[in-house]
Amino acid sequence: MALKPIKFPVYSHTHIFEFFALLQWKVLVYDRKCRDIISPLLNVSKLRKRGVTLHLLLESEREEIPDVPAVYFIEPTEENMARLAEDLQKRLYSAVYLNFASKLDRPLMERLAKNAIASNSYSMVTKVVDQYLDFVTLEPSLFTLNQANSYLSYNNPGASEADMETYARAVTYGVFSMLATVGSVPVIRCAAGGPAEMVARQLNDLISEHLLGNSPFFLRGTGGSTAAFHRPLLIIFDRNDDLVTALHHTSSYQALVDDVLPHRLNRVTVESRQDGESGGATKKRNYDLDVENDQFYSRYAGALFPEAIQANGAELAEVTKKEDEIRSKTITQLGKGERVDDPTQDGSAKELLSAVDSLPKLLERKKSLEVHTNILQAIMSAIAAREVPIFFDVEESMVASSRADKATVKALLADPDKGSLQDKLRLLAVFTLSSKASTADLQELNETVRQAFATSPPSSSSLGAWPSHEEVELGIGAVNYLRRQRAVQHLPDLIESDSNKAGGGARGSLGAGTAIQGAAGIGGVDSGYMSHFINKAQSQATGLLAKATNLLSRRNSLYVSRVVDNLCNFKPNTEDESFLYLDPKVKGLDSSAVKGRAPYREVIVFMIGGGCYAEYQNLQEYSRQQSAMAPRHVLYGCTELLNAEGFLTQLTELGTSFGREGRSFGQRTPLSLNTFGNGSDKSDDTPVLESQNTIPSSSPAPSSPSFKHTVAKTLLNKRNEATKSTNRSAPIKKTHHADNVPRSKNLLIVGLGNPGKEYAMTRHNAGFLAVDLLARRLGADFRLRSAFQGEYGCVAYKGKSVGLLKPTTFMNRSGQSLRKVLDYFKLPVSSVLVVVDEVALDIGQIRLRQTGSAGGHNGLKSIESCLKCKDYNRLRIGVGGAAPGSMVDHVLGQFSRSERKVLDDMLIDAVEAIEDWIEDDNTDKVMNRVNAPR
């Protein structure tokens, strides 16, 4: 079975509102970081649909709303915990549901409990949950940890060991949050040494700790698990592996949006003239870009800019034409006195009626296309003023050939009319990193940049503010930092050399240096066209197209895409032989010990030090090139998403730091693999099945000496009771029963049925009846557990702890209750036995199975949906078939008088079968005994 594509469902970040979905309305309180997590996924209208009528910053002044509950979604920092304690003291809300984006450490938890006790507000805390959502989902295949200055943090020569520890731990837990949300245990690959290995090893240890502890995030599978089948590949990169891509001028629509316009968290700001004239006042407009719901953006976000501009013009013309036709026909029809909504009219009238009904969607599409027209025009204005395509062309030639014409570069750097300071610095940086220029050549080009901005700006310049001498020197310092970086490490080729191109180009493979071409009519354009790019057009529309169609349309495979291809296909003499191989399921494993690996189909690429849209789009293009018979989905993540200007800002600070510290690279603080702890996430407060009665039903009196400890323990237990939505939706790792793996000593028997006296003796409640009889035989008592959404009891039997569960969710939601219990006790699915009615069996018959389909049973459908698997033990109790068309009445009907004569014996057989299953770990033998003819 192939692993499903790894995508981030929107609900992975929005389930924090489901804790009390029955409430009509609520307040959402967040800090700035958590606001960034939510904002790309939920706008105001979506929040209102989830009952959030107010959303407020934690640090803002907030009025008291004592009759309303509040959902807190915050980072567990000391400052936030202090503000939270203040809110509890003021009793701003009726109840609070605390959701922490990352792990809440025990000292902070105990401090919260202490403050809540002091203000006598501890009863307001309803739930405490570590959500492990310390990342931002921007698209189904794109996420970021949103960690500012991430490249600067681990390259700063003044960083201490403690700083490194803090940084590495934040990155590790951020990636862990993503994996916990996805619910997959990856195989980890990375280059040896540096931050990539440090994070990879810490992440490997952290996942291993959770696997050993039966964490709800990663429930252990069986088998030896060295095979790559059904598991994703996580490749961790260091930004220093490929510095050029972060600085290179870009060519795709989405990358240009991020490069030349103000753009953050899918929101872009466009500045336009109100009257359309050059001298008119400007107005800023914000647009939210949604690759999932915006059809045009979904198709063309990764397209080359000329392709996007042409498609926008063509689609807008098509939509406008259809709109005009509908309006013209409507006016003509009404002019004849005919009603377009009259169903008795002829076919033409009905056709027109259908067209009129489609008009709102057509206008909505037109509005969306006009938004993209405004964005495209803003991009065109920026790249035309800076003559970006010329810089792109020169940089692309240098990267593709590893050769550079110094004279061409110098001419561009010297011309004050071409490019901003940022453009020139980017060109100089690419030249520095991709060529083998001498120190003298680089110093000469540095001086050329100084001279270009030494004089006053040209009167015709449209490049904005002229940079000061200090800004120029800071920029040159950033490039000098890159020169030193190049001198102390081997930077890989970004585009594969001509000598490696043989045999490339086959579909499903990025052959060395194979160009990824654009649509027909776009690719293969002679690079000599660049001199025509800035030709002024006669009109705004034709000018936009004329400029766009001249933008270079070549796209080559980048370094990360090539490494992904090499590692997924185990190519010899590549990174597959040099990269470390870490498997959280196996200790001390290296790649040489792995035999018979199958090519990976799910890949997660993570870039430490900042990623960029050009890299992301190149990986998506690589994914689209794969054969339909062997698809490969690539998810891209990074510590932060940076455009070139943002990356240059960090390089500038590094250049300044090295100059200020007077250090060379040889004196730089090393990144040690022992910089921070062992990644353990173990806690001594994890409840076990036998201790299900340890949560106090009421708090002790404040005078009790252990009161503070008890309340702190209660808050911890509330946190453990709460179930993370991503855990409910993530597939539980299956135990292959054929391997006869011994079951846990903690077992769970689940009887299915409907709550309420009216359903007590119905056929659909046969599961309840059997578990009730089992409870009486074993001496167990049920009590309602709201955290489990069911009645629950526990008893020791044959040296094992046996939990008994009757969901009170009604039949078609039984899986929700079961999932809550499994997550709470961290039980594997092999420890569960579901007892259910079966219409395919005659009354009196029972059958034990380890797997199978739901067979139309709504209770089993719910369980399969929540567990994401069909491999769980189930005991089917026969209730007889129904007449055609009367299934509902049959299963919800009472057992007949004749059936009740058989019912008692059948329930006894069922209970004895359950007891046999509890006692004997060999389910195959139990099945032979239970299913034998009676």
Q: State the catalytic residues.
A: 764
Residue 619: phi and psi, rounded to 5, are: -70, -40
Reported residue count of the chain is 934
CA distance readout (Å), 533 to 306, 385, 427, 521, 549: 12, 11, 19, 17, 8
Query: CA separation (Å) from 133 to 238, 589, 616, 640, 840?
Result: 23, 29, 21, 15, 44
User: Closest Cα to residue 725, out of 791, 653, 819?
Assistant: 819
Environment class of 920 (CB within 10 Å of its CB; exposed 0-12, middle 13-18, buried 19+) = middle
Q: Edge-to-edge strands of the sheet including 267-273?
A: 263-264, 267-273, 282-288
**Residues facing residue 918 across a β-bridge:** none
CA angle 179, 215, 637 (to 5 degrees): 10
CA 488 to chain centre: 35
> What burial class does residue 694 get, using C-beta atoms within 10 Å of its C-beta: 0-12 exposed, 13-18 middle, 19+ buried?
exposed
Token pair recorded at residue 665:
């690279």
User: Any idea which residue has 């010899």 for tokens?
Assistant: 572
Block residue for tokens 């401090």: 111
Buried b (16+ CB within 10 A) or exposed e, 855-887: eebbbbbbbbbbbbbebbbbbbbbbbeeeeeee
The separation between CA 630 and the C-alpha centre of its own chain, rounded to angstroms, equals 23
Provide the 10 A C-beta neighbour count for residue 105. 12
- Is residue 678 a contact partner of residue 206, using CB atoms and an 8 Å limit? no
Q: Is beta strand 267-273 parallel, antiparallel or unpaired with respect to 282-288?
A: antiparallel
**In whole angstroms, what is the distance from residue 778 CA to residue 529 CA?**
85
User: Using CA atoms, how far apart are residues 791 and 782, in angstroms rounded to an integer?
Assistant: 6
- 3 state DSSP class of 144: strand
Q: How far apart are the first and last CA of the chain?
A: 37
Phi, psi of 403 (to 5 degrees): -125, 150
Q: Are 375 and 261 in contact (CB under 8 A)?
A: yes
Q: Answer yes or no: are the C-beta atoms of 481 and 658 closer than 8 Å.
A: yes
Crossing angle of helices 421-434 and 469-488, rounded to 10°: 20
d(CA 203, CA 401): 37
Phi (first) and psi of residue 79, to 5 degrees: -65, -45
Pull the structure tokens for residue 325.
């036709």
Distance CA 157, CA 859 (A): 60
DSSP β-bridge partners for residue 790: 785, 807
- Cα–Cα dist 797/75, whole Å: 44
The pair of three-digit structure tokens given for residue 379, joined into one six-digit string: 């991009």
Q: Nearest 5°: phi and psi at 242?
A: -150, 90
Tokens matching residue 576:
């597959």
Report the distance separating Cα 257 and Cα 268, nearest Å: 8
List of E strands, 591-681: 602-608, 633-638
